Amino acid sequence: MITLENVSKIYNAALESKPVTAVADLSFSVQAGGITGFVGPNGAGKTTSIKMILGLVQPSTGKVTLMGEPAGSPKARQKISYVSEQPYFYEHLTAEETLKFLCEMKDIPKGDRTSEIDRVLEKVELSHRRKAKVKTFSKGMQQRLNMAQALLGKPELIIMDEPMSGLDPLGRRLFRDIFRDLRQSGITVFFSTHIIDDIENLCDRVVVLSKGKLKYQGDIQKLIDQSSKGIEYRLTGDQAKQLDVHGSTDCKVTTAPDGTVTVVAESTENSLVSKITEAKILPISIMPIRSSLEEVLYDPKEPQEER
Amino acid sequence: MCRGTARRAPTVRNSRRPNHKMETTMKTIFAIAGNTFKETIRNKVLYNILLFAGIIIALSISFGQFSVFARVQVMNDFGLATMSISGLLLAVFVGSAMLGKEISGRTIYLMATKPIPRWHILVGKFIGVYFTLLLNFAIMSFFFAISLKLSEGELTIMHVQALTLLFVELGVILATSLFFSVLSSPTLASIFTIGFYIGGHFNDLTGMESLTKGASVVAPLLKLINLILPNLEHFNVRSAVVFNESIPSGYMVSAIAYGAIFILIPLILAGIFFEKKDL
């Protein structure tokens, strides 16, 4: 659905300052269906990439295609919708007038417009404010209207840039429900976010960006699996004695005051793990040790730059 | 709350038919024009009319001691000049700010992310503001006619001709201000457009042989200005109205065609630059 091939974006700054590379030689693709998270710290190049996908910004080099069409062409935007990070609306229009205007932009047949506006306003729980001017809306309400406009028509792909920023917990829950509904309806969602909780709970796949470059692309579960730090076995004192864990050199052994022994092996290819398997011992517990998703996505060793 | 109702969302129409494409183009352009018109009206940009009406009516009353002929002459001259300046200010400032405001306020994303080419946005904006100018002109013309009546004069075909040409000139100014606003900030676009207006009205002067010949540094610059800028004096028939001289219809046709060309050129150039502009 979305393909970026060796895309770079360099912003030429003022005379005295150096050009800024927002995105460098970036290649990734987003397949149809499901929810793909676009993750990275501030200044990683997420918004610039999204703008290039939408054709709002021209890449300095490389190629961006959307639904098989070059990004920026009206045909490419035929079946997509966009939710910006900040809601931007005409303050002189009411919610209904705004959606009517956008129905015209999306070429939704005149006869369908009223029912379509009813549907999306109901979905974002703003039906009661349809006649109110957008300037009287709170930021959270404007963001819900922003989501409503993206749901107009029948988009095949919705691109969102930090859609949940500025939402209260109820709004966030509402958006999460909408995300799940979209997944069920077969609509592809590609959204950028900082929020680990959203990535873990909503995303099927992630594209991770760091300093304008691709860091990871793929299944979220695989990413979590890759972050394994080892296996932790909790043994009784007798089991520990039987296995002679204190004699192991490739494990970290700690004894608790209650006599239970915790053994941490870095991998399953370990002499102690073999001993446990051979002796057919049933430990008190076996637990994989993983880095948190936050640690995986935002490597603290990697210095982050604000752009 | 009844989320998740089983209503089917309508799909967007098939735009392959050429007739439908044309229809869609017109519809989106007029939707943008309508929204722009609504915005300018709701932003109360037409308040300048009140000022105009006040000045012109006060003037027509205060000229009571003059002879009828002199009174009508002054009213014609002053009325048309005031309408021209008022329209110019609207065209320059609304035209320059309209696109810049959309870009800086990011409301442009609402349109630029939809399946429409960017030139639709430009043309829609142009038509919307031009329509506001038309309304402004129509109301001012009404007050102008009242003040003429108060001065014992009347609105003639020559007034209509003069107003038509003034309106065409405003189209040129508006298209130019949109062109500059694609390339620069609203403030710079306003300055450039005013420069264009002044240069356009002094086009006869910049083309004078005595000025463009010689070793002066200014001479090639004047020649360049003369070549690039349209002669906006073609749209100024105020003196003909003041001195009651008829304006040939051939002149009207050629001046309107001249204006149409200088509306299209900046709009086409603006469209080309706008297509590639980072938003």
pLDDT band at B90; cut points 50, 70, 90: confident
Q: Which residues of A touch B3 (CB under 8 A)?
A: 122-123, 125, 177, 181
Q: Look at the domain A2-79+156-224 and name its fold.
A: Rossmann fold (3.40.50)
Distance CA A202, CA B113 (A): 25
pLDDT at A166: 78
Residue A206 one-letter amino acid: V
The residue with greater pLDDT, B219 or A192, is: A192
The tens digit of pLDDT for each residue in A84-133 reads: 988 899 988 999 999 999 999 998 988 999 999 999 999 999 999 999 99
pLDDT band at B253; cut points 50, 70, 90: very high
The tens digit of pLDDT for each residue in A21-34 reads: 888 889 999 988 89
Q: Is B107 on the interface with A (CB under 8 A)?
A: yes
Check whether A215 has a pLDDT greater than 60: yes
What value does the mean pLDDT of chain B take? Answer: 83
Q: Look at the domain A229-290 and name its fold.
A: Alpha-Beta Plaits (3.30.70)
Check whether A154 has a pLDDT greater than 90: no
Distance CA B62, CA B242 (A): 19
Average pLDDT over residues A51-65: 92
Q: Is A242 on the interface with B (CB under 8 A)?
A: no
Query: Following CA atoms A165, A166, A169, A170 in sequence, which dihedral angle do they give, to the nearest 10 degrees?
Result: -110
Distance CA A22, CA A8 (A): 8
pLDDT at B124: 95
Smallest CA–CA distance, residue A17 to chain B, in Å, is: 20
Q: Which residues of A touch B111 (CB under 8 A)?
A: 105
Q: Number of C-alpha atoms within 13 angstroms, CB side, residue A7?
A: 30
pLDDT at B54: 75
Q: Is B18 on the interface with A (CB under 8 A)?
A: no
Distance CA B17, CA A146 (A): 31
Place of tokens 């400032």: B93
pLDDT at B97: 87
pLDDT band at B67; cut points 50, 70, 90: low
**Of A51, A86, A106, which is closest to B114 when you measure between CB atoms?**
A106
Answer positive or negative: Cα dihedral of A105, A111, A117, A122.
negative
The residue with greater pLDDT, B124 or A291, is: B124
Distance CA B234, CA B169 (A): 9
Helix-then-strand count for chain B, H and E: 12, 0
Percent of chain B with pLDDT over 70: 84
The tens digit of pLDDT for each residue in B32-65 reads: 999 999 888 887 777 776 677 777 767 766 765 6
Query: Which segments of chain A are extended strands (E)?
Result: 2-11, 20-30, 35-39, 61-66, 69-70, 80-83, 157-161, 188-193, 205-210, 213-219, 228-235, 251-255, 261-265, 285-290
Please judge whether B12 and A75 are an interchain contact, meaning their C-beta atoms are less than 8 angstroms apart.
no
Place of tokens 């979590």: A224
- Going by C-alpha positions, the residue among B188, B186, B175 that lies closest to residue B105 is B186
What value does the mean pLDDT of chain A take? Answer: 86
Rg (CA), chain B: 22
Smallest CA–CA distance, residue B50 to chain A, in Å, is: 22
Average pLDDT over residues B72-89: 84
pLDDT at B77: 83
Residue of B nearest to A179 (CA): B4
pLDDT at B16: 54
pLDDT at B60: 66
Q: Which residues of B touch A154 (CB under 8 A)?
A: 9-12
- Measured at the CA of A174, the angle between CA A133 and CA A198, to 5 degrees, comes to 120
Q: Is B255 on the interface with A (CB under 8 A)?
A: no
Please judge whether A88 and B31 are an interchain contact, meaning their C-beta atoms are less than 8 angstroms apart.
no
Give the tokens for residue A304. Answer: 């982050």
Q: Is B207 on the interface with A (CB under 8 A)?
A: no
Q: Is A116 on the interface with B (CB under 8 A)?
A: yes
Average pLDDT over residues B216-237: 81
Please judge whether A122 and B3 are an interchain contact, meaning their C-beta atoms are less than 8 angstroms apart.
yes
The residue with greater pLDDT, A29 or B79, is: A29
Please judge whether B7 and A151 are an interchain contact, meaning their C-beta atoms are less than 8 angstroms apart.
no
Please judge whether B10 and A79 are an interchain contact, meaning their C-beta atoms are less than 8 angstroms apart.
no
pLDDT at B1: 40
pLDDT at A16: 62
Q: Is A190 on the interface with B (CB under 8 A)?
A: no
Q: Is B44 on the interface with A (CB under 8 A)?
A: no
pLDDT at A306: 36
Q: Is B36 on the interface with A (CB under 8 A)?
A: no
Check whether B110 has a pLDDT greater than 60: yes
Q: Which residues of A touch B24 (CB under 8 A)?
A: 107
Give the tokens for residue A282. Answer: 């049933």
Are the CB atoms for A66 and A76 separated by under 8 Å? yes
First to last CA, chain A: 28
Please judge whether B116 and A177 are an interchain contact, meaning their C-beta atoms are less than 8 angstroms apart.
no
Q: Residue B236: phi, psi to the nearest 5?
A: -100, 105
Distance CA B262, CA B273 (A): 17
The tens digit of pLDDT for each residue in B114-133 reads: 999 999 999 999 999 999 99
Give the tokens for residue B79. Answer: 């009325």
Domain boundaries, chain A: 2-79+156-224, 93-147, 229-290
Average pLDDT over residues B203-219: 65
Smallest CA–CA distance, residue B254 to chain A, in Å, is: 37
Distance CA A9, CA A23 (A): 5
Smallest CA–CA distance, residue A195 to chain B, in Å, is: 24
Domain boundaries, chain B: 27-276
pLDDT band at B149; cut points 50, 70, 90: confident
B 59-98: CB under 8 A from A: none
Check whether B3 has a pLDDT greater than 50: no
For A224-235, give the secondary structure using H, E and C: HHHCEEEEEEEE
